[in-house]
């Protein structure tokens, strides 16, 4: 067991088994040994859509600008990205927004980032963007009185989840415990969750069935929706996940583009879980906003004009035609990112339907 694993085991020894959500928080965000606090994982362990093609970030930038235009061009817009990775998406979005300078020129850009390693990469990427950019450690640190235009790509999948398993006693939470052989393992809480706390759509689960929740994700979306409902704006959330809730565990660990043991090497592997878009949509509705989607990423990108954008880029450099076709295939095909990744949009109740939805 590595050093972070030993510290987690000591914590468990002193206070008992911990929820999976707490384990994920420690493994990903521990300031000394957490995954995001200590490494730059993009391309090393996984690749995200903005790194596949510049067209992805460009279309999102134009989507945000169009939403601003459709809502009457509100003053002092705040442009926010949650979990900006290397800053590639924001760099591409800001470049595309030059087509609508009256929006771009008055933006204040805020990147919400918990990783000092990634924040350093973002500063380099955006140094020549010409935009006013600052960083915040959390959404709660943003101004509450301005129109909010927000994007989150592959952010919610990394937020902590809780897992519950159907047993003869009801629904018992899955916990992380320390085993006698010096490793970490899973165990079930001895007391079942009160029936009133179990979502109604989980009725009929088979014995051993698992359902997952992300209280952190749902709370954050509700706060985003509340801000948009109060001050205007739009949010676009893109992630891998499912549109209809069901049963099954999706918590996974990835290292070097391959699956790894979730508990075997905390802090050295990426942890994530599929996003429950129904739960996020419900949270946005509770926040007082209108929700569109989820729709497949491929459907959205085609609707926003990725094919036309590829034609423009190919006309400028015909030698890139095959590369551009491969990028569209990667982003949009059903057997690649096109169907697994989904998108929802959040806008004020009186706002026009956002582009692509």
By the 8 A CB rule, do 35 and 4 touch? no
Residues in the chain: 357
pLDDT at 1: 78
Q: How remote is the C-alpha of 111 from its chain's centroid?
A: 14
Read off the pLDDT band of 46 (50, 70, 90): confident
Question: What's the CA gap between 315 and 313, in Å, rounded?
Answer: 5
Note the pLDDT tens digit of each residue in 133-180: 999 999 999 998 999 999 999 999 999 999 999 999 899 999 999 987
Question: What's the CA gap between 233 and 221, in Å, rounded?
Answer: 14
Show the domain range for 308.
37-158+215-244+272-347
Read off the pLDDT band of 40 (50, 70, 90): confident
User: 271: which 2 tokens?
Assistant: 């942890």
pLDDT at 201: 67
Note the pLDDT tens digit of each residue in 273-329: 999 999 999 999 999 999 999 999 999 999 999 999 999 999 999 999 999 999 999
Question: What's the CA gap between 357 and 343, in Å, rounded?
Answer: 9
Average pLDDT over residues 22-32: 94
Note the pLDDT tens digit of each residue in 90-123: 999 999 999 999 999 999 999 999 888 899 999 9
pLDDT at 194: 87
- Mean pLDDT estimate for the chain: 93
Look at residue 19 and tell me if it is in a domain: no
Residue with tokens 């600008």: 65
What angle do the packed helices 20-29 and 3-15 form, to 10 degrees? 150
Top pLDDT among 51 and 248 is at 51
DSSP 99: G
Note the pLDDT tens digit of each residue in 231-270: 999 999 999 999 887 778 999 999 887 889 999 999 999 9
Question: What's the CA gap between 234 and 281, in Å, rounded?
Answer: 14
> What order do you get walking across the sheet with 252-255 strand by strand?
258-260, 252-255, 270-272
Assign residue 311 the CATH number of its domain: 3.40.50.150
C-alpha to C-alpha distances, 258 to 43, 270, 339, nearest whole angstrom: 12, 10, 20
Half-sphere exposure of 219 (CA within 13 A, CB side): 10
Kindly provide the b/e burial profile for residues 64-85, where b requires at least 16 CB atoms within 10 angstroms of the residue's own CB.
Answer: bbbbbeebeebeebbbbbbbbb
**3-class DSSP assignment, residue 156:** helix
Question: What's the CA gap between 241 and 320, in Å, rounded?
Answer: 31
Note the pLDDT tens digit of each residue in 179-221: 878 799 999 999 998 877 777 667 778 889 998 999 999 999 9
By the 8 A CB rule, do 266 and 26 touch? yes
Question: What's the CA gap between 105 and 94, in Å, rounded?
Answer: 10
Look at residue 192 and tell me if it is in a domain: no
Number of domains in the chain: 1
Instruction: Please count the other Cβ atoms lying within 10 Å of the Cβ belonging to residue 189.
Output: 18
Look at residue 21 and tell me if it is in a domain: no
Q: Is the peptide bond before 294 cis (omega within 30 degrees of 0)?
A: yes
């Amino acid at each position: 067991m590595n050093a972070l694993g030993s510290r987690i085991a000591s914590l468990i020894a002193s206070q008992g088994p911990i929820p999976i959500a707490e384990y994920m928080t420690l493994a990903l965000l521990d300031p000394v040994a957490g995954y995001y606090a200590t490494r730059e994982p993009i391309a090393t362990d996984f690749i995200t859509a903005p790194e596949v093609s510049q067209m992805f970030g460009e279309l999102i930038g134009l989507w945000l600008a169009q939403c601003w235009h459709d809502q009457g061009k509100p003053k002092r817009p705040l442009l926010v990205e949650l979990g900006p990775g290397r800053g590639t998406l924001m760099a591409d979005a800001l470049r595309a927004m030059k087509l609508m300078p009256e929006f771009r020129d008055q933006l204040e850009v805020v990147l919400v980032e918990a990783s000092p390693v990634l924040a350093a990469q973002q500063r380099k990427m955006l140094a020549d963007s010409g935009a006013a950019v600052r960083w915040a450690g959390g959404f709660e640190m943003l101004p509450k009185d301005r129109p909010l235009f927000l994007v989150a790509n592959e952010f919610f999948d990394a937020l902590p989840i809780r897992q519950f398993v159907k047993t003869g006693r009801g629904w018992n939470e899955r916990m992380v415990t320390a085993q006698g052989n010096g490793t970490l393992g899973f165990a079930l809480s001895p007391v079942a969750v009160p029936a009133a706390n179990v979502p109604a759509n989980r009725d009929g689960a088979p014995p051993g069935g698992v359902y997952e929740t992300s209280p952190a994700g749902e709370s954050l979306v509700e706060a985003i929706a509340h801000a948009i409902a109060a001050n205007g704006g739009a949010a676009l959330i893109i992630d891998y996940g499912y549109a209809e809730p069901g049963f099954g565990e999706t918590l996974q660990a990835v290292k070097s583009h391959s699956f790894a043991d979730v508990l075997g090497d905390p802090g050295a592997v990426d942890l994530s879980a599929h996003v429950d878009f129904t739960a996020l949509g419900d949270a946005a509705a509770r926040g007082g906003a209108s929700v569109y989607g989820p729709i497949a990423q491929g459907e959205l990108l085609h609707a926003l004009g990725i094919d036309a954008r590829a034609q423009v880029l190919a006309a400028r450099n015909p030698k890139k035609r095959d590369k551009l076709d491969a990028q569209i295939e990667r982003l949009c095909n059903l057997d690649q990112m096109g169907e697994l990744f989904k998108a929802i949009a959040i806008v004020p109740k009186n706002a026009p339907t956002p582009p692509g939805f």
